[in-house]
């Protein structure tokens, strides 16, 4: 664990405090990746082998987010169960390291935060805020709260400065990125993909946060679709689909699991998976029309 003073964000505004903890932890997470690329013998609730970086980033965020007065619950993609953090009214969820398989190939990764005003597992329509950090050539953070989406550059000391305010999806979409293996796509998704490829430019980086940041920047659609082998898709609703759906919908876009907005999807299990479709509303509606 870094010996730097752990960031605390004393504030009675738990959402602002959670944003501050994630922003100020980002340079430390980024700085700690190089030596933590190896696999542990641990597996998470989704059955994935955990990298040392997954576990380390998760411990660091759990310690700091549960220390926030208003946070009463914490849950993570890397932990089986919800952590009781006292009697705060909010529940914080993290995907501590999104796209951690990109660590091997040194490509972009992210950290995803959700803040719910309900006990977990909770539907996306109980989110009061969400954010993600993108560990790209520079470290940026996107926050969404009360309908306002803001993009920041995060400095090495964890301070941040807004570089884009009131972020909205560009009118004319230009990019798409679809996960899963093409032969494993269902016919109805493959048909949709064929239609889109004539209109948009393929850019797929293998980490949801990198791919979503492209859609927020250039407009378009990101999907990790239903698969023949996995009709429920790969991504986790609580930790990935909901917070990113909240951010994209706050930026004027649409989100869907094929039937309905991700934010209205029923959440039975903390680690339940969901197909994820996100981006310009018209592109998401065209997909829903097929499902």
Is the Cβ of residue 188 or residue 230 nearer to ligand AHG in the bound state? Answer: 230
Site mask, Mn ion, residues 230-249, x = CB under 5 A?
Answer: ----------x---------
**Which of 62, 98, 211, 249 is close enough to bind Mn ion by CB under 5 A?**
98
Of 141-149, 161-169, 202-210, 267-275, which segment contacts ligand AHG by CB under 6 A? 202-210
Neighbour tally for 198: CB within 10 Å: 6
Is the Cβ of residue 65 or residue 208 nearer to ligand AHG in the bound state? Answer: 208
Q: Rounded distance, CA 175 to CA 286, Å?
A: 16
201 labelled binding-site residue: no
Q: Is residue 224 involved in binding ligand AHG (CB under 6 A)?
A: yes
- Identify the three-state secondary structure at position 84: strand
Is the Cβ of residue 49 or residue 159 nearer to ligand AHG in the bound state? Answer: 49
Is the Cβ of residue 226 or residue 240 nearer to Mn ion in the bound state? Answer: 240
Site mask, ligand AHG, residues 130-169, x = CB under 6 A?
Answer: ----------------------------------------
First to last CA, the chain: 47
101 labelled binding-site residue: yes
What would the 3-class secondary structure string for 194-213 be? HHHHCCCEECCCCCHHHHHH
Kindly report the CA angle at 104 between 103 and 109, in degrees rounded to 5? 20
216 labelled binding-site residue: no
Please confirm whether the linkage preceding 230 is cis (ω < 30° from 0): no
Sequence-distant (≥ 6) Cβ neighbours of residue 41 within 8 angstroms:
none
Burial class of residue 188 (count of CB atoms within 10 Å of its CB; 0-12, 13-18, 19+): middle
Residue nearest Mn ion (C-beta atom) = 98
Q: Is residue 73 involved in binding ligand AHG (CB under 6 A)?
A: no
Q: To 10 degrees, what angle do helices 14-31 and 52-65 make?
A: 150
Site mask, Mn ion, residues 63-92, x = CB under 5 A?
Answer: --------------x---------------
80 labelled binding-site residue: no
| CB 76, CB 56: distance < 8 Å | no
Residues found near ligand AHG in the complex (CB under 6 A): 48, 77, 95, 98-101, 179, 206-208, 224, 234
> Which residues of this protein are in contact with Mn ion, per CB under 5 A?
48, 77, 95, 97-98, 240
């Amino acid at each position: 664990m870094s010996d730097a003073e752990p960031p605390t964000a004393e504030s009675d505004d738990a959402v602002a405090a959670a944003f501050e903890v994630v922003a100020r932890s980002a340079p430390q997470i980024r700085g700690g990746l190089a030596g933590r690329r190896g696999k542990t013998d641990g597996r998470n609730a989704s059955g994935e082998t955990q990298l040392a970086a997954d576990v380390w980033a998760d411990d660091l965020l759990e310690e700091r987010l549960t220390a926030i007065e208003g946070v009463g619950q914490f849950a993570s993609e890397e932990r089986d169960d919800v952590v009781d953090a006292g009697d705060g009214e909010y529940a914080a969820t993290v995907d501590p390291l999104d796209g951690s398989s990109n660590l091997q190939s040194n490509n972009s990764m992210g950290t995803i935060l959700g803040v719910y005003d309900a006990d977990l597992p909770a539907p996306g329509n109980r989110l009061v805020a969400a954010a993600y950090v993108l560990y790209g050539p520079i470290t940026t953070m996107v926050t969404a709260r009360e309908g306002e989406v803001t993009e920041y550059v995060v400095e090495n000391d964890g301070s941040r400065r807004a570089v884009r305010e009131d972020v909205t999806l560009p009118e004319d979409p230009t990019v798409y990125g679809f996960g899963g293996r093409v032969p494993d796509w269902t016919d109805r998704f493959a048909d949709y993909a064929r239609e889109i490829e004539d209109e948009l430019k393929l850019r797929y980086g293998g980490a949801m946060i990198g791919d979503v940041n492209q859609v927020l920047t250039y407009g378009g659609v990101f999907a990790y679709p239903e698969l023949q082998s996995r009709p429920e898709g790969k991504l986790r609703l609580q930790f990935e689909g909901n917070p990113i759906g909240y951010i994209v919908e706050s930026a004027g876009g649409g989100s869907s699991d094929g039937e309905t907005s991700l934010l209205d999807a029923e959440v039975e299990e903390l680690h339940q998976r969901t197909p994820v479709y996100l981006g310009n509303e018209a592109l998401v509606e065209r997909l829903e029309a097929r499902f």
